[in-house]
A and B are shown apart, each in its own frame.
Chain A
Amino acid sequence: CSRIHNKPTFSQTVLILNLYCNPQNSAKSADGSHSTVSDEEMQEHYDNFFEEVFVECEDRYGEIEEMNVCDNLGDHLVGNVYIKFKYEEDAEKAVVDLNNRWFGGRAINAELSPVTDFREACCR
């Protein structure tokens, strides 16, 4: 994002950048025409993705209060995953560890996010 965001030193919320790849989006950008991925396939793909991320992060780093996946087409938001942990220590641990892990053939970019209430979250 081109706007300036304050990155907090402590936060319960972890932002993982561009983690989710919507198969419909990739299909569109690949040939410029309509998507060949059905809505059902997309939903299944998304559900699997969500479960994998949620289960792995909760098992490994600690209890999760809330998890959100951005699925819009804004370049700076697409595929971003926000995970709000119950404890700040868990979030901090998660950022450090996630930044040295692979995910689906890509390196993970994780950072702490100031967002704690997702209804209020928008780029100002």
Chain B
Amino acid sequence: RRKSRRKKPSLYWDKPPPGFEHITPIQYKAMQAAGQIPSNVTV
């Protein structure tokens, strides 16, 4: 029963924040952790 149900390009997946297209999400999170960019994620 496995078939791809994707029918349109994603609104969310692989959309980087504006201005951060040149870095990877891992680098981005490292910068957040280092306080270089604001983090609005609460854990």
Contact = CB atoms under 8 A, between A and B. Distances in A.
Interface of A: 1, 17-18, 48-49, 52-53, 55-56, 59, 63, 75-76, 99-109
Q: At the interface, is chain A mostly helix, strand, loop or mixed?
A: mixed
Q: At the interface, is chain B mostly helix, strand, loop or mixed?
A: loop
A107 B12 contact: no
Interface residues of B, number: 22
Given A18-B42, A107-B28, A108-B25, 16 more contacts: A18-B43, A52-B10, A52-B11, A52-B13, A55-B5, A59-B6, A99-B29, A100-B26, A101-B25, A102-B16, A103-B12, A105-B16, A105-B17, A106-B41, A107-B32, A109-B43
